[in-house]
Structure 1
Amino acid sequence: MSIRHGLLALLEPGARYGSRLRTEFLARTGGTWPLNIGQVYTTLGRLERDGLVVQSGVDEAGRVLYALTEAGRAELRDWFTRPVQRASPPRDELAIKLVMAVGAPGVDVRQVVGAQRRHVAEALHGYVRQRADALARAHEHPEEMTRLLVLEQLVFHAEAESRWLDICEARLLRFTRAGQSGRSR
């Protein structure tokens, strides 16, 4: 998630102070992605340095307000129209763990896969339950739609990870069997 662009989007309707941006970010994402206040202010500082936001005064409580500049609005419009690139996928800790476990002395890769499968199943169950709650509430509370969209993504990611683990396990099993039959000749 681009915190940078998320904050620009939250500033589009008008000036906000840091902790309000954090609260709105968490509300929009259903609290799925933690965002600490330090990240907000560090990002605001960079946005200000890059000319995308400016300090626009203080509110009645003395909190510094930030507002979009025209360059910030242009950057936001560009972000919304630009597809998210998949050419350079992010590093995935699970993929790294599995490839390092293959051939590592004393590591049973099937146990690693099994532990992850149990974790994913629990997470998927929780996401599906939360999604049902969000669906039930979305008709009365339109803000639940943003949470619902995030939960849908989490469900699909967990389902995909579960399928990938199945494939990994099947390949490892075939590899192990092929190795054993090669040694018995």
Structure 2
Amino acid sequence: SAVWAGGLYALGDRFAAPELSYRAAENLCEDFRARALGRIAGDLHRYRPVNKEHDHPAVRGAVCELRNGESVSSLTVRAQVDLHRKTDPAPEFDVPSLGLVAALGAGSTEAVQGLGERAVFFTTPGDGVVQLRVLDGGAVFTIEAYGTGTAQNTPTDTAVMQAAMVEDARALMAVLKE
């Protein structure tokens, strides 16, 4: 019994619910303006933003998908915010999305300094998809951008895309900060 109690005491913080520092988004597309990405690829809010929320006892989340074209888009941006209510997302944060890896193959991961508690870029082979994930205050922010490469406004410089994603992530985090 003493060993069991000691183990629970030692691991107790790991299983504790994180202290949330952010509010839930009622309409993430209103909160996520994507101004920096819009300077690269044109107004991303012009063509019917797609907004969805999900509310589960463990995670409350919201997703916003934006694009810079009506039927053909050269850039699609997807923002997602997940507020973890039951467990700390930190231990699994650095693992790339299984769905993204399965669909697009292994990519490279690069740490981003000075953004949230931890932040990483995941880039797929050929720079087809760039994903920024930020862990901060019990929340995981994800901004993912991908283009078709067929239109004039398609961003081709990954460094420029990453800088814009960091700027837009900072703005979104500031809007949702409690």
Which category describes the TM-score, using the shorter chain as reference length?
under 0.3
Higher-Rg structure is: 1
TM-score, normalisation: structure 2:
0.27
TM-score, normalisation: structure 1:
0.26
Higher fraction of helix: 1
